């Protein structure tokens, strides 16, 4: 019989999911820095993005798991693009 992994209560799965979230946040941070260096983002936008990403990393590292704090797309922008709340 093959052990079932990926269950929400499986410590290995929680650790893997946390590692994946942290990795993706670090990738997102790198992309924001690169976009600023290539003059795709203004400094103000880059600073806001980095502050948001750093806050998410701090919550993740502190073990805070309140899913309600995660950013969700907002469809209220006039230009039709999704923004992050």
pLDDT tens readout for residues 38-68: 999 999 999 999 999 999 999 999 987 655 4
Domain assignment present for residue 72? The answer is no
Domain assignment present for residue 70? The answer is no
Q: Which domain holds residue 50?
A: 12-65
- Whether pTM > 0.75 for this model: the answer is no
Domain assignment present for residue 82? The answer is no
Runs of H (alpha helix) within 7-81: 11-37, 43-62
**Helix crossing, 11-37 with 43-62: angle to 10°?**
170
Farthest-apart Cα atoms in the chain, separation:
55
Structure tokens at 85: 């709340």
Domain count, the chain: 1
Residue 11's φ and ψ, nearest 5 degrees, are -55, -35
Between CA 35 and CA 62 the distance in angstroms is: 28
């Amino acid at each position: 019989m093959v052990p079932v992994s990926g269950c929400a209560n499986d410590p290995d799965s929680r650790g893997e999911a946390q590692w994946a979230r942290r990795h993706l946040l670090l990738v997102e941070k790198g992309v924001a820095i690169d976009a600023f260096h290539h003059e795709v983002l203004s400094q103000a936008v880059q600073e806001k993005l980095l502050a948001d990403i750093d806050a998410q990393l701090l919550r993740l590292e502190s073990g805070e798991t309140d899913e309600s704090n995660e950013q969700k797309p907002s469809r209220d922008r006039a230009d039709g693009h999704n923004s992050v709340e």
